[in-house]
Amino acid sequence: MAVFGYGRVSTVEQTAGNQRLEIERAGYAVEYWFADTVSGKAHAAQRKQFSEMLTKLRKKDTVVVSKLDRLGRDAPDVLGTIKTLAGLEVEVVVLQLGKLDLTSPAGKLMLAMLAAVAEMERDLIVERTQAGLARAKADGKALGRPPKTTPEQRKAMIEGYANKQSVSALAKLYRVSRSTVLAVVKPTASASTMKQ
């Protein structure tokens, strides 16, 4: 009956160490630790360390996570993960929920409600982000990365290309990539190449 800890962070700049510390401070002696660096949008089955942990679990083991979203991307994914772990007869502890058997009827109800709320919160964040982008666009703000070249440089590239200067030579001259030059001198060709 081993205790497995699992953590997830979204970027390499983050560390799952704080999640492990939180689990250990809650009184769990973590014998096996698994952590993924992957977006919260990835399903649990797509997480390398999580999948590896599943192969090591045995009946009566315990999996401890700090928060519910560590178990999956959205409500159906979290519920599927809990079902998989329950099928292995593994106890699942989510510190955020306190000591609650997530495989019991009451635990399943609580889990479904919390997973649905978490999913709704993510949807609201996306909605607010899109509204902010639309407002910025309406206000005339340029979205996306700033251009790597000035309008004058782009005009000179087009003229140079028309005068038989190679894409490589132009890229070297303006210290940009070949694809940047191609996007300027052949915008439709580079756009169709990017779609492929």
Q: How far apart are CA 14 and CA 9, in angstroms?
A: 6
Give, in order, the Cα–Cα distances in Å from 52 to each of 76, 183, 196.
21, 43, 34
Q: 3-15: string of b/e by CB count within 10 Å (b at 16+)? A: bbbbbbbeeeeee
Answer yes or no: 192 catalytic: no
DSSP 49: H
The Cα-based distances of 4 to 58, 59, 154 in angstroms read 11, 12, 57
How far apart CA 69 and CA 21 sit, in angstroms, is 18
The letter for the amino acid at 17 is G
Measure the CA–CA gap between 51 and 37, rounded to whole angstroms. Answer: 13
Task: For residue 59, count CB atoms less than 10 angstroms from its CB and return exposed for 0-12, middle for 13-18, buried for 19 or more.
Answer: exposed
Phi/psi region, residue 5 (left: phi>0; alpha: psi -120 to 50; beta: rest), is beta
Active-site annotation, residues:
10
